[in-house]
Chain A
C-alpha cells in the first residue's frame, strides 16, 4: 500500500513536470510576441528589442523555462558574485511589492546604478532609503579587455553594464515611454521560480501573481465546494433510484434528465437559469457584483445561480455514472447469490449493492474533476464571479502570460491532486487493491 502511494506520487510528479513544460511551451514559445503584446502595435523595433531584453525573452527557451520553474536568482547570484535577497515592502494596506538586493561582504543590502558613466553602489539604509557610494573599482575586465560589471538594478533585474558603452533602455511607465541611455546591455529578470512560490508579476495588474491567485483561488474553492456538497449527495441518490428501477419510467426520466443537464454547455445552462430566475421570476440577481476585497459570502443570494449552474452539470454526470454502476452490480452473480441466500431487499441494497456500486463512481467523479473545473471557468465568466477561472480567462484574453502560466499550473495541480486522492481512496475502500 505504501509502495502504491509512493509510486502514484512519483507518477504525479512526472506528470506535473511534463505539464509545466507543455504550459510554458504553449504560452511562451508559440507564435505571438509577448513584448509586442505588452507594448501594443505602435512600438518601434528598438523599443520592442529593449523590452525583450529586459524581460529576458531574448534568451534560449530552455534557460527561460528553467528560470521560470526554478528561478533565476541562483544564476544571477553567480554572475554578481554576492548572495541575493528578496524583501517585501508594504505601502499602505494593499500595495505590496518585492525588491531584490545583493548582500555584500558587510551584510548590507546593495543595488547598483550608473550615473554619468560612473558606477555607484546603492546601500540600503534602515529607513528604506539608499545611500549612493561610488564603486568604480568593481569593474571587471573580460577577454577582450573591456570593462564590465554584473550587478542588481532597481527594477529587480540582474544587469550587465559595459563601461562607456551603455545601450538605450526604454521603459513603459504610466506617464509613457522613458528612454534612458547608459543603461545595461543585458538583463536577467530575477525570480525565485514557480517551484519556490514565485509566480512572477502580472503584466496586467502589475502585482505578484501569487497574491492575486490566492484570493481568487479561495473564491473558486468556495463556489466549487458548495456546488459539490449540494450536488453529489443528490446525484448519488438519484442515480441509485434510477439504477434500482432499471428500465422503469422513473429510471427513464432520471437518465434522460441527467443526459440533458450534462450535455448542455454550462454557459447555456447559466443563461437559461438567469432568464428564469433573474429576468422571469426576478427573485435572484443575474450577475454577481463583488467588491474586490469583500468576501463572496457576504451576500449569499449572489451565490445561488452560480452554484446551481455548476452543480446541475455535475449532477447529470454523477447520476449517470452511479446508475450504470448500480445496474452492473445488480446484475452481478454475487448479488444473485445474496438474493438466493434469502436476504431482504434492504440488506441486499445496503450490504451488497451499495458498497460495490459506490466504488466506481467515487473514482469516476474524481476523474471528472477536470470537467468540473472547466465548467467552473465558464460559470465564473457567465456570472462575473471573481474566481480563478475568470482570472485565467481574462489573462488569456489579455495575454497576461505569467498569470496564465501560474494559474494553469495551480488548476492542473488541483485536478491531478484530486485524481491522486481518488486513486488512494479507491485503493483504501477496495480490498482487492488494499491486500495486494
Chain B
C-alpha cells in the first residue's frame, strides 16, 4: 500500500500564450509521488515550480495550456477531464495550500463557513455536522482558541494562524494529494518553524502524498523525502533528500549549496560562491544545456546538445552530460579569492564611531476616538524602539537581527536621520546626531549612507543609472564637475558592473543589478558608516551571495564601518563581528558574533537559531519553539517583554521586573532573569 503511486507526471510541457509568441515555461518534467511521500520542488523564482503545481489541478489561467505529456493521478489521466469531474477531485482528493494566506482566504466570510463549504460540497454534510468537523480539524492543526476562531474573519487572525486554517481546510476531506506552494515564505522565521513542525507531523499522521514547493533549500530539507531541483523550466536533478543535500551531482545544485551562508560557520571561515549570471527568461533559453552559460564546467558538448534527465542510480536522476564524471570525482570549483578579511587586526579595540544611548523611537498611534482627536485622551505610541544602547567601533560590523516588527529598521532610519528619535542620544565621532536629517550638516549626512531592501524601489524609474549616482556626486561635490562621469564609471566597476550600465534604465536591470547600483550610489559619497537594511532578503539565493560578497569586499577594502539589519541569522553570522538581537524594541542579547551563536543563549536567540531551516535533512527537529503572537508594541508586556512567549519563563519575576543587560563575558551581555548557568543549559 505504501508504494502506491499517487501522482505521476510524464514529460510534461506547459506553455503560455502571450501577445507576441508562445512561451514554453515548463519542459520535460517527470516525477512521481507515492503515498506518504513528500516531494520537494525547489528552484529560484521564475523557474516554473508553481506552473507545475497549477497544471496538476488544471488551473493555468486563460493563456496557459499543457503542450504535451501526461499527468496521471491514481492511475487516471487528469488532462482533458471534463469540468464536472475535475470539480469532484479539486478540494476533495487533491487540495492546495498557498503562499499568501491572507489573500487566499475570502475576507468577507467567517472561517467556519469557508471551511465547511468544502465538506458540504464534497461530502454532502449538513451545516451542523460540518461545523463540528471543522472544529476538529482546527484542533488538529493546534489552532489556539479553535472555538473562537470558527466565527472570526480572516483579517482577525495572524499570518501563522491563517496558514493553519488553510492547512486544516486542505486536509478536511483527507486528500490523496496535497500541493503546498511556498506555504511558509510569507511568515516570520519562528512562525515558519512552527508551521513546518506541523506539516511534518501531519505528514506522518495522514500519510498524504505531498508536493512541496519552495525556493528555500533549508525548508525542503526539513519536510521532504525526495527533492527535485528545477532550473529554468526543467528538472535538473531528482533524488532522495539526503543524496541531494550530501552528494549533489548537478553543478547547479552544488552551486545552490555553495552560495548559502551557513548559520553554523563563523565569519571568515567560509566563503560564499555565487553562481554567475542570471536565470534565463523562458523566451530566451540558451541552446544546449540550459545551465551551460552559468556553468563553470561547461564543455563544447554542453553548448550544443540538450542533456536528458537520466537515471544514474536507483534513486538519483540528473540532467548533465558530465554526470558520470562527477559520480567518480566531485568537480572542483575554482575559488574566487576575496580580499583577505582583516579579521585579525580588528580584535584590538578601535575608536568608537557611533554611540547610541537610551535611544527611543515612538510612533504616535492615530486617534481612533473623537475625544482623542480633541486632545482629551493621552496620546498612545507604538514603542518601536524602546531604549537602546550600543556602540559601533570604527572598521567593525554590527549585525542587528530580529523578526519583523522588532524595531530593527526603525533603528536604522533613526541613525541616518530619516526618523526623529523620541528620546535618548546618538553620537557620531563625538558629534551629537540626535536630530533628524533636515537639521544635520551636509558633512554629517555624507558620512552616513544606507543600502535598502527592495530592489524594485531602490532606483528612481525615471532616470538612468548613471544620473542617479551622479546626483549624489554633485550634491556632495565629491569630485570636480568634469570628472563626474568618470567617477560614476569607477563606482560601477567597483560594484562589478561595467561602464555600459551608465545609460541603462532601472527597468532593464535584474534585481541583483539594481541592488548593486544602490550600493554604488551609497558608497559614492564615501561614507564612514554604511547601514544595510535587509540588503539581500528580496533577492534570489544565487544572487544574494554575490551581493553579500560585494558588501564584504567594500567593507574589507575600504575599511567601512557597517551595520547590517537582517532577519536572516546566517547572513549576519557570515558578515558581522558584533551582533545585537532585538525583540519588541529592546536588545535582548548583544556581543561578539561568536559569543552570540554559542551557548549561553538568550531564550529568544535560542528560538531564532532553532528556527533557522538548515539544508541538512538529518538534523532532528528542535524542541525550542515559540507559540502565540508577538504582542502589540503599543502596550508592550510588563517586565521582560519576551515573557508572554518564553519557553523558559521562571515565574512572576519575569512579569514584574525588566531584566537588564548583564555581562556574561567581556564581549557578551544578555537581558534575562535566568542565571548564567541556567542559560548555558539551553540548547537548540
Does B443 sit within 8 A of A, measured CB to CB? no
Question: Could you tell me the dominant secondary structure of chain A's interface residues?
Answer: helix
- Nearest Cβ on chain A to B186's Cβ, whole angstroms: 12
User: Is A435 within 8 A of B87, CB to CB?
Assistant: no
Identify B98's interface contact among A337, A338, A344, A430, CB under 8 A. Answer: A337
Does B369 sit within 8 A of A, measured CB to CB? yes
Which residue on chain B has the smallest CB distance to residue A10?
B370
Complex: how many Å from CA A344 to CA B90? Answer: 11
User: Is A3 within 8 A of B95, CB to CB?
Assistant: no
Complex: how many Å from CA A337 to CA B156? Answer: 19
User: Is B106 within 8 A of A339, CB to CB?
Assistant: no
Chain B interfacial residues counted at CB < 8 A: 34
Known: A339-B59, A343-B91, A435-B156. A333 touches B118 (CB 8 A): no
- Nearest Cβ on chain A to B123's Cβ, whole angstroms: 11
Identify A340's interface contact among B57, B105, B153, CB under 8 A. Answer: B57
- Nearest Cβ on chain A to B125's Cβ, whole angstroms: 14
Does B350 sit within 8 A of A, measured CB to CB? no
Does A301 sit within 8 A of B, measured CB to CB? no
Task: List residues of chain A with CB within 8 A of the CB of B155.
Answer: 431-432, 435-436
User: Is A356 within 8 A of B90, CB to CB?
Assistant: no
Task: List residues of chain B with CB within 8 A of the CB of A435.
Answer: 153, 155-156
Does A237 sit within 8 A of B, measured CB to CB? no
Known: A333-B98, A338-B106, A356-B108. A344 touches B87 (CB 8 A): yes
Known: A334-B104, A334-B105, A337-B106. A7 touches B91 (CB 8 A): no
Does A341 sit within 8 A of B, measured CB to CB? yes
User: Is B91 within 8 A of A342, CB to CB?
Assistant: yes
Known: A344-B121, A355-B108, A432-B155. A333 touches B103 (CB 8 A): yes
Complex: how many Å from CA A352 to CA B108? Answer: 8
Identify B370's interface contact among A7, A359, A429, CB under 8 A. Answer: A7
Task: List residues of chain B with CB within 8 A of the CB of A3.
Answer: 368-370
Does A154 sit within 8 A of B, measured CB to CB? no
A393-436 CB contact bits vs B (8 Å, 1 = yes)?
Answer: 00000000000000000000000000000000000011110011
List residues 80-99 of chain B with CB under 8 A from any CB of chain A: 86-92, 95-96, 98
Identify A336's interface contact among B62, B104, B107, B108, CB under 8 A. Answer: B104
Does B100 sit within 8 A of A, measured CB to CB? yes
Chain A interfacial residues counted at CB < 8 A: 29
Complex: how many Å from CA A436 to CA B368? Answer: 10
Does A351 sit within 8 A of B, measured CB to CB? yes
List residues 312-361 of chain A with CB under 8 A from any CB of chain B: 332-334, 336-344, 347, 351-352, 355-356, 359
Task: List residues of chain A with CB within 8 A of the CB of B169.
Answer: 341
Identify B153's interface contact among A333, A337, A431, CB under 8 A. Answer: A431
Identify A342's interface contact among B88, B103, B108, B156, CB under 8 A. Answer: B88
User: Is A432 within 8 A of B153, CB to CB?
Assistant: yes
User: Is A339 within 8 A of B98, CB to CB?
Assistant: no
Does B122 sit within 8 A of A, measured CB to CB? yes
User: Is A342 within 8 A of B59, CB to CB?
Assistant: no
- Nearest Cβ on chain B to A32's Cβ, whole angstroms: 40
Task: List residues of chain A with CB within 8 A of the CB of B59.
Answer: 336, 339-340
Task: List residues of chain B with CB within 8 A of the CB of A6.
Answer: 370
Known: A7-B370, A347-B117. A340 touches B95 (CB 8 A): yes
User: Is B121 within 8 A of A342, CB to CB?
Assistant: yes
Complex: how many Å from CA A347 to CA B118? Answer: 11
Complex: how many Å from CA A134 to CA B331? Answer: 124
List residues 174-197 of chain A with CB under 8 A from any CB of chain B: none
- Nearest Cβ on chain B to A134's Cβ, whole angstroms: 56
User: Is A342 within 8 A of B106, CB to CB?
Assistant: no
Identify A332's interface contact among B86, B103, B109, B118, CB under 8 A. Answer: B103
Which residue on chain A has the smallest CB distance to residue B93?
A342
Task: List residues of chain A with CB within 8 A of the CB of B88.
Answer: 342
Task: List residues of chain B with CB within 8 A of the CB of A339.
Answer: 59, 90
List residues 353-408 of chain B with CB under 8 A from any CB of chain A: 368-370, 373
Complex: how many Å from CA A355 to CA B89? Answer: 26
Complex: how many Å from CA A347 to CA B107? Answer: 16
Task: List residues of chain A with CB within 8 A of the CB of B62.
Answer: 247
Task: List residues of chain A with CB within 8 A of the CB of B118.
Answer: 341-342
Identify A352's interface contact among B86, B106, B370, CB under 8 A. Answer: B106
Task: List residues of chain A with CB within 8 A of the CB of B373.
Answer: 7
- Nearest Cβ on chain A to B436's Cβ, whole angstroms: 31
Task: List residues of chain A with CB within 8 A of the CB of B108.
Answer: 355-356, 359, 429-431
- Nearest Cβ on chain B to A314's Cβ, whole angstroms: 26
User: Is B107 within 8 A of A343, CB to CB?
Assistant: no
- Nearest Cβ on chain B to A249's Cβ, whole angstroms: 15
- Nearest Cβ on chain B to A16's Cβ, whole angstroms: 17
Task: List residues of chain A with CB within 8 A of the CB of B107.
Answer: 334, 356, 431-432
A-B contact pairs, 19 of them (CB 8 A): A7-B370, A333-B98, A333-B104, A334-B104, A334-B105, A336-B59, A337-B106, A338-B106, A340-B95, A341-B91, A342-B87, A342-B88, A342-B92, A342-B121, A344-B121, A356-B108, A429-B108, A435-B153, A435-B155
**Residues of chain A at the chain B interface (Cβ within 8 Å):** 3, 6-7, 10, 247, 332-334, 336-344, 347, 351-352, 355-356, 359, 429-432, 435-436
Closest 7 CB pairs of A and B: A342-B91, A341-B91, A342-B90, A333-B103, A431-B153, A334-B106, A342-B87
